[in-house]
Amino acid sequence: MKKIKVGVAGYGVIGQRLADGVALQDDMELVGVADVAPTLSVRALKEKGMPYKLFTAMPDNTAALDEAGIPISGSLEDLVQQVDIMLDATSAGIGLKNKEIYKKYGKKAVFQGGEKNTVADVFFHGYANYEKGLGADYLKLTSCNTTGLIRAVDCLDREVGAEKVAITIIRRVADPGDYHRGLTNALKIDKAPSHQAVDLMTIMPHVEATGILIHTPVTHGHIITVVLTPKKDISVDEAIAIFEKHPRIRVVSIDEGFLGNASLFRYARDLGNPRGDMYEIALWKDSVVKSGKDLMFAINIPQESVVIPENIDAIRAAMEMQSDRESGTSETNKYLGIGTWKK
């Protein structure tokens, strides 16, 4: 079996998780990762024995990498020439610049949610529009919140149809270990509608969506409350049963001890998941209620790791490894071990 060769640009919060995710796929080969400086993530890579080759995305910084004793296998352009497709997890705006390198060598690429939609041919989600990504040269993923939100909405939409959704996002202000947002004791509200609602409509144009976003001074995940109007009236128990069938949705309850975002982060660590990551979103069965025909529920978004499966899906679609969403997402789930806890 010919393995698809993959490179990762940007070895930060998302990039290192993408590298780990690709390395777990039996039908893919991680050629290497690229970064610009001896960051903590790169230093940790060295201390772990360099399981992945490192390429420098900024040759002018080679001296700093050499001084830190970090071996370099070449430049970003060298990496691009050796792969079939790149996963670009660089800071917003850098991906657009890197695209010129990918185009120069005729290589496909997948960009993250921070890039503008115009960077790609397809705004992609593994479950909601997998087939639109088939054979595409450039795909862009949705943000972490939008990725998890679409999983839940698409899940119900495929079973009973969804007319409209209204969301409130309680958004963590920064990732664990980040200091750039400062030390705060405040909540901050954005203008409505939130981009996640707009992005959902871009992926699922048949669903009317709107939303509000509130920034909170926490780090371990977002919580989204959703009010969804189904086309077919269903009970709470029927809705929960639909959610429970989805491999990337973990249905939990307060009675089990899942009191909030921190409970889920701790549980992921207790499971032994690297970095406390969890690929699934969590949905509280205790939160599923009805108001007339409308369904309301709450989900938890593990922002550092939730988009990894959809990135792998994007590789499968772009390289036409599997031709439909069911087989493509199933392969990704199998190698990442997603859904095994349900069996």
The pLDDT-based confidence of 17 (bands split at 50, 70, 90) is very high
Percentage above 70 pLDDT, the chain: 100
Q: For the whole model, what pTM was predicted?
A: 0.95
* Residue 326 burial (10 A CB sphere; 0-12, 13-18, 19+): exposed
Higher pLDDT, 183 or 39: 39
Task: Determine the pLDDT at residue 174.
Answer: 81
- Pair 311, 30: CB distance under 8 Å: no
Task: Determine the pLDDT at residue 176.
Answer: 83
What is the residue range of 149's domain?
144-301
Task: Determine the pLDDT at residue 242.
Answer: 98
Beta-bridge mates of residue 167? 211, 226
Number of domains in the chain: 2
Task: Determine the pLDDT at residue 177.
Answer: 78
Cα 235 to Cα 241: distance, rounded to the nearest angstrom = 10
One domain for residues 132 and 205: no
One domain for residues 275 and 325: no
One domain for residues 9 and 72: yes
Mean pLDDT along residues 197-217: 96
Task: Determine the pLDDT at residue 342.
Answer: 76
One domain for residues 267 and 213: yes
Task: Encode 163-201: b = buried (16+ Cβ within 10 Å), e = exposed.
Answer: eebbbbbbbbbbeeeeeeeeeeeeeeeeeebbbbbebbb
Is 144 designated active site? yes
One domain for residues 12 and 122: yes
> Residue 267 maps to which CATH number?
3.30.360.10
Mean pLDDT along residues 251-265: 96
Q: What is the DSSP string of 108-134?
A: EEEE-TTS-GGG-SEEE-TTTSGGGGT
Question: How far is the first Cα of the chain from the last one, in angstroms, to the nearest whole number?
Answer: 29
One domain for residues 118 and 209: no
One domain for residues 118 and 264: no
Percentage above 90 pLDDT, the chain: 91
Task: Determine the pLDDT at residue 179.
Answer: 77
One domain for residues 133 and 154: no
Amino acid at 114: G
One domain for residues 288 and 323: no
Q: What is the pLDDT of residues 125-156, one digit of tens each?
A: 999 999 999 999 999 999 999 999 999 999 99
Cα 6 to Cα 24: distance, rounded to the nearest angstrom = 12
Beta-carbon neighbour count of residue 329 at 10 Å? 23
Query: Looking at the predicted structure, is the pLDDT value of residue 323 above 90?
Result: yes
One domain for residues 83 and 148: no
Task: Determine the pLDDT at residue 142.
Answer: 97
Task: Determine the pLDDT at residue 340.
Answer: 84
One domain for residues 80 and 158: no
Cα 145 to Cα 208: distance, rounded to the nearest angstrom = 17
> Residue 77 maps to which CATH number?
3.40.50.720
The pLDDT-based confidence of 219 (bands split at 50, 70, 90) is confident
Averaged pLDDT of the chain? 95
One domain for residues 131 and 67: yes
Cα 234 to Cα 41: distance, rounded to the nearest angstrom = 47
Selected catalytic residue, list 144, 153, 307, 321: 144
How far does Cα 109 stand from its chain's mean position?
A: 15
Task: Determine the pLDDT at residue 185.
Answer: 84
35 is in an annotated binding site: yes
